[in-house]
Structure 1
Amino acid sequence: MTPEHCVSLLTDYGLEDGFVAACHGVIVGICPHARIIDITHLVPPGDVRRGAAIMAQTVPYLPAGVHVAVVDPGVGTRRRAVAVAAGDRVFVGPDNGVLSWAAAGADLRAWELTESELWLEPVSATFHGRDIFAPVAAHIAAGRDVAAVGREIDPAGLVRLPPPVRAVRDGTAEGEVVTVDRFGNVQLSLTRTDLDAIGARRGGALTVTLGRHSLRMAYGETFGSVPPGELVAYTDAAGRVALAVNAGDAAQRLGLPPGAHVRLTVSE
């Protein structure tokens, strides 16, 4: 990789402390010309699944380069630190599934980060983002061959998160909540194609079943398809079906956390 390639960062570090700045400083100290893109540092603490979803939905819009994800509740344990090459992108982070939805495809190569000469010393037991992942990413961005970061491993042995539930049968689309954004919009694992398959048409209505409860909502183009305060289903910027309240918080109103199961059918 050449120095102009970017290094992106996704963490659950928050912004109240100096953790993110320390990672930036390490990267620039090793690769002064690196372009650092902060995806987010507000992943809920330890929420590996949320980090994986955000990484997978964001990286396709970033330049080729090195993409670091540190949502790492197992830091300091026997979990592996890895780099995964997928085409012109390299993913660096803990082997706990946080990279698995973004680093996908048939031609993956993977390495365990074992070359300690690339790390900062001494290595903190609880801050591998600063001492291992950031410096390794910076060395790769500066032109170091990714194969030099450690011993190659079989990508089939990497920890992978199970894909979200997504099924269409008998006129019903069944999925689960993938993420909830800061506006309270509830992103499902379902796509517009899934709704097309059950005969849903924008401008019509859907019956949304949440456990034992069902409710009817409009299927629209955007939030403004319904008056303020009303529920609407729409296709979001990632191509997923989402539930929202115009000028409100759908997750709060519906009581839908990530992982909750949802069934959609066409309302008459």
Structure 2
Amino acid sequence: MSATPWISLTTDYGLTDGFVAACHGVIARLAPAVRVIDVTHLVPPADVRRGAAVLAQTVPHLPVGVHVAVVDPGVGTARRGVALATPGGLLVGPDNGLLPDAAAALGGVTAAVQLVEPRWLAGRVSSTFHGRDVFAPAAARLALGAPLAEAGPPVDPADLVRLPTPTLTVDDEGFTAEVVTVDHFGNVQLAAPARLLDPLPAALRVGSPGSEPTRPAVRGRTFADAPADGLVVYVDSADLVAVAVNGGRAVDLLRVDPGDVLRVSR
């Protein structure tokens, strides 16, 4: 990949410490002309699935560049640090399931390497801060146009760690889907493609499988399609089915967490 002026950062580092600034600083020292987009640093700590979802749903809308993601509860262990090439840019981070969905969103992995070349890393690599000492310097060098193959030995894309496929079952009455993420507004995103709403009526029921009573909901296009404090089932900006409350928080009303399942039925 040729030089690119863009690096993005997605982490669970928070905003109360100096972790994010340290990563910015490493990039600025090595590639001062590169611009950095902070996607978020508020991924819940160690929540790899949430980080993967945020990354995959964001990178298609960013400039072509190098996308660094660090949600890394296994930092310092035998888990690999990797860099992945795709038709839509490069991805850098831990090999723990965080990157493959984003790679798919950018056209699929065309090459992958393990980040072990000493010249690409900090002189002293902390066992607990690979964002600063491994991923940020590697990203800066890639942004400057350094060849991916120089970063370390190749990795078979088929051997990359992948997260389990979210639960999804479909029947004549509706579908049951895993909660993928809950956003800042309390909207509940499901592992269900938009097309699953097509055969369903305007009046729906939503609830946890096997629990009664289920709650009434409307199939809508916007939040305002439901009455105040009512549930609406809609297609969100990632083209997935989601559940919201008009003027409220669906996550609180439905009492679900990522990894739980919800049933949407006629």
The unaligned stretches of length 5 or more in structure 1 are none
Equivalent positions of 1:100-179 (< 5 A) are 100-104=100-104, 107-179=109-181
Question: Does 1:226 find its partner at 2:226?
Answer: yes
Query: Secondary structure, in 3 states, of the residue corresponding to 1:262?
Result: strand
Shift of 1:88: 3.6
Query: Secondary structure, in 3 states, of the residue corresponding to 2:253?
Result: helix
Gap change, CA 1:94 and 1:106, over 3 Å in 2: closer
Counterpart residue type for residue 210 of structure 1? S
Over aligned residues, Cα RMSD in angstroms? 1.4
Task: Choose the corresponding residue for 1:208, options 192, 206, 209.
Answer: 206
Give the fraction of aligned pairs with identical amino acids, expressed as a percent: 53
Distance 1:208 1:29 in 2: 52
My pick for the range that moved more, 105-114 or 226-235, is: 105-114
Distance 1:126 1:29 in 2: 21
Counterpart residue type for residue 177 of structure 1? V
My pick for the range that moved more, 1-10 or 244-253, is: 1-10
My pick for the range that moved more, 70-79 or 169-178, is: 169-178
Which whole-Å deviations, capped at 9, do the CAs of 1:200-225 have from their partners, x for residues lacking one?
24xx1111131323221111111111
Shift of 1:168: 2.3
Shift of 1:70: 0.2
Shift of 1:227: 2.7
Gap change, CA 1:3 and 1:85, over 3 Å in 2: closer
Conserved? CA contact 1:180–1:251, under 8 Å: yes
Q: 2:261 is matched with which residue?
A: 261
Distance 1:253 1:262 in 2: 13
Gap change, CA 1:59 and 1:171, over 3 Å in 2: same
Question: Does 1:92 find its partner at 2:88?
Answer: no
Gap change, CA 1:114 and 1:72, over 3 Å in 2: same
Question: Does 1:34 find its partner at 2:45?
Answer: no
Distance 1:107 1:4 in 2: 18
My pick for the range that moved more, 181-190 or 211-220, is: 211-220
Distance 1:3 1:227 in 2: 51
Conserved? CA contact 1:3–1:33, under 8 Å: no
Gap change, CA 1:263 and 1:155, over 3 Å in 2: same
Q: 2:72 is matched with which residue?
A: 72
Shift of 1:52: 0.3
Q: 2:62 is matched with which residue?
A: 62
Distance 1:14 1:160 in 2: 25
Distance 1:50 1:107 in 2: 21
The alignment covers a number of residue pairs equal to 262
Query: Secondary structure, in 3 states, of the residue corresponding to 1:164?
Result: coil
Task: Choose the corresponding residue for 1:186, options 188, 192, 197.
Answer: 188
TM-score by length of 2: 0.94
Query: Secondary structure, in 3 states, of the residue corresponding to 1:132?
Result: helix
Shift of 1:191: 2.3
Distance 2:200 2:40 in 1: 34
TM-score by length of 1: 0.94
Distance 1:152 1:38 in 2: 28
Ranges of 4+ aligned residues in structure 1 off by more than 4 Å: none
The unaligned stretches of length 5 or more in structure 2 are none
Distance 2:39 2:142 in 1: 19
Distance 2:129 2:56 in 1: 24
Shift of 1:98: 0.4
Shift of 1:28: 1.3
My pick for the range that moved more, 107-116 or 140-149, is: 107-116
Conserved? CA contact 1:173–1:195, under 8 Å: no
Conserved? CA contact 1:4–1:35, under 8 Å: no
